[in-house]
Amino acid sequence: MRRWSVLAVCALALSGCGPADGAAVEIEERFVDAGSVRLFFPPGEEPCAGTAAFLDDMVQRITSFLELPRPERLEYHFKPDGDLTKVCGTAVSYAGCSFPGELRLWSRDATSVHELVHAVADQDGTHYSFLAEGLATALGEENIWLFDYDAPESEYLTPGLMSPADQGGLAGDFVSYLLAEQGPARFMELYASVPHDASAEQFKAIFAETYGLSFDELLAARRDATQRFRQNRLLFPECSFPLMAFDGDTWSSEQTVDCAADAVGPSIRLSAITSSAWKAQTLEIAGDGEFRIEFSGTGGGAMLQHCQAPYERWSLTSDNSPLQSRILGQHSLTWGRLAAGRYALFTHADERAEPATVSLAITPAPELAACTAAEPRAIEDDVDGVYAIADADAARHVPFELGARRTATAAFQEVELCNDECAECAPVPMFEGSALEPGIVYALSVGADPYRQAEGVQLAAE
């Protein structure tokens, strides 16, 4: 990749590339090239070394999925300080802005797939705002937009620009539904057919001609459907990464996350990984079952996200990481029931810190039932805790036995420790100093939880 220093000049256009007075804007930038993407950034704010390649790969995946031509050059301007009014005008969304027909965008985030979708899908000019925002949200990164299917049509079926903050959630959820149920080809036929300034009546007429059902009928069908999309999107960026190898017994991965080498970032909103360097891949689990999940990390973490069940997601984070959302220790051992399907696996670390080595191994394990129905799991001395992923419908029990005396230092979530008969279960609130003896079978008892949270007890050596 080549690195250059440039002085970018942005002249005012109808798409919002400049302040209200129409004056040109001069911004000092440098850039790196990777394939069709030229990634600009301010001096001293260079993204991680793998970021430009990630953006180019995403352009390839977006154009392939939507069957659009791949652009020869796309300009991505990363501006992390948050003030985009000079280039985007006053109507600036949280993420940034793109310029229809120009293959040019500005973003506070170095990895905004949402803005990439806008740039690629609108490379031939401006499109109908409801469809454009819906597509960028459906294929993009995490967002904070809610949706209301009872909102008046005037808020989203408009010939003008629709703010994502208003009904971007509804647009993303509805387009996700159309793409999941009908595929991208028919949607892109609609996308190309609706004029950007169409009235609601014009839009509905073209919609009915394209789908063979009225907009109101499909909107009602989506309202009544049970299918859910995490944050109004298809998890497209994370769930299309390369598949991990499976050796027939264990899924395993060891990644060194190094911003200066080949990691990606910083990311604001890609799968809840905040201000971090990361790598990603996917794995495929053939059938439902119990699995032993072993994680270790030196300053980093891992996150596992089911691609078809969007609300099944678990974070495993080392205790010395500033990015922790849940403390599972520097070497964590967890048991859980994982559903069949494809999973996205992120390994991540603070991009400002030293490189982090993050390992994850997932091994099929015997079914868990009552405490006495399975052999206790031996807990190695270097494992710092016992954890389990809650089941949605029933309590679960993980029998275990220690090789040495250990002290419980904290409980993660609200759990119970039981004896080997699952009687006299005692709650374990956030306490310190309770001793667990070797040679005794304990059982970690986890209650039913529809959100499938991980629960457990952190242990320390005596």
Give the mean pLDDT of 400-406. 88
Give the mean pLDDT of 316-324. 42
Please give the C-alpha separations between residue 418 and each of 4, 385, 415, 439, in angstroms, as whole numbers: 63, 16, 10, 14
Could you tell me the pLDDT band of residue 24, with boundaries at 50, 70 and 90?
A: low
Choose from 63-72, 280-289, 298-307 the range with maximum mean pLDDT. Answer: 63-72
Contact 319, 330 (CB under 8 A): yes
The per-residue pLDDT for range 184-204, each reduced to its tens digit, is 999 999 999 999 999 999 999
The per-residue pLDDT for range 220-236, each reduced to its tens digit, is 999 999 888 888 899 99
Confidence check: pLDDT of 426 > 60: yes
pLDDT at 72 (0 to 100)? 95
pLDDT at 412 (0 to 100)? 65
Confidence check: pLDDT of 50 > 50: yes
Confidence check: pLDDT of 20 > 60: no
pLDDT at 394 (0 to 100)? 77
Confidence check: pLDDT of 439 > 60: yes
pLDDT at 370 (0 to 100)? 54
Lowest mean pLDDT among 56-70, 397-411, 426-440: 426-440
pLDDT at 120 (0 to 100)? 97
pTM of the model: 0.82
Could you tell me the pLDDT band of residue 90, with boundaries at 50, 70 and 90?
A: low
- The more confidently predicted of residues 338 and 77 is 77
Give the mean pLDDT of 201-214. 97
Domains within the chain, CATH numbers bracketed: 3-232 (1.10.390), 237-461 (2.60.120.380)
Confidence check: pLDDT of 322 > 50: no
pLDDT at 351 (0 to 100)? 80
Query: Residues 302, 56, 354, 321: what is their CA dihedral angle, to the nearest 10 degrees?
Result: -30
Joined together, the tokens standing for residue 113 give 């797939």
CA pair distance 183, 65, nearest whole angstrom = 10
Could you tell me the pLDDT band of residue 9, with boundaries at 50, 70 and 90?
A: very low
